[in-house]
């Protein structure tokens, strides 16, 4: 996931740039081409997605969220988090995510974005441009209950609060 998300974002930006250049050079309607092409690619992705996972892959407790614009709040203080690592994935173009986590639960963030802004416990804001962000709470590996967020987005804003 760590490099795949950045590679996907990079490939999408390159394809968009090439298409915009071609539409300017050859004077054609980009929307008339890209919209049907996007629908076709989305259909191919939906059809072949189950085959991306190998047959011997273990499925743990995981959640996945897809959105064009995701304004989400994940309040883990009220969640029944099982022992082990819980995976939550979110894919979106623009994500604004707030995460509330109890102190006895480990939190890991793996963010793949074109532009990322992250703030932990009201501290200073960290920004990243074209670089993945990997953050772990103190003692993450040693805690019994852990939650790992994998966020793939074009622009992302993540705020974390520990209680």
Asked whether the beta carbons of 91 and 68 are under 8 A apart, the reply is no
The Cα-based distances of 71 to 15, 74, 96, 139 in angstroms read 27, 10, 5, 29
Q: Could you list the pLDDT tens digit for every one of the 163 residues in the chain?
A: 456 666 777 787 888 888 888 888 888 887 787 788 878 887 787 777 655 555 554 545 567 888 888 898 999 998 888 999 999 998 888 999 999 999 999 999 999 888 999 999 988 888 888 888 899 999 999 999 999 999 998 999 999 999 8
Q: Is the pTM of this model over 0.75?
A: no
Q: Roughly what angle, to the nearest 10 degrees, separates helices 30-48 and 2-26?
A: 150
Give 3-state DSSP helix, strand, coil % of the chain, rounded to 5. 30, 45, 25
């Amino acid at each position: 996931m760590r490099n795949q998300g950045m590679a996907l974002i990079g490939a999408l930006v390159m394809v968009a740039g090439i298409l915009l250049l071609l539409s300017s050079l050859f004077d054609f309607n980009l929307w008339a081409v890209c919209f049907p092409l996007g629908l076709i690619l989305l259909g191919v992705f939906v059809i072949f997605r189950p085959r991306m996972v190998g047959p011997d892959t273990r499925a743990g407790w995981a959640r996945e969220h897809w959105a064009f614009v995701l304004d989400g709040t994940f309040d883990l203080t009220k969640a029944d988090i099982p022992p082990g690592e819980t995976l939550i994935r979110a894919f979106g173009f623009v994500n604004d995510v707030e995460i509330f986590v109890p102190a006895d639960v480990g939190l890991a963030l793996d963010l793949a974005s074109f532009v990322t802004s992250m703030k932990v416990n009201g501290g200073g804001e960290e920004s990243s441009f074209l670089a993945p962000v990997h953050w772990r709470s103190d003692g993450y590996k040693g805690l019994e209950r852990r939650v790992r967020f994998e966020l793939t987005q074009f622009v992302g804003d993540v705020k974390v609060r520990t209680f």
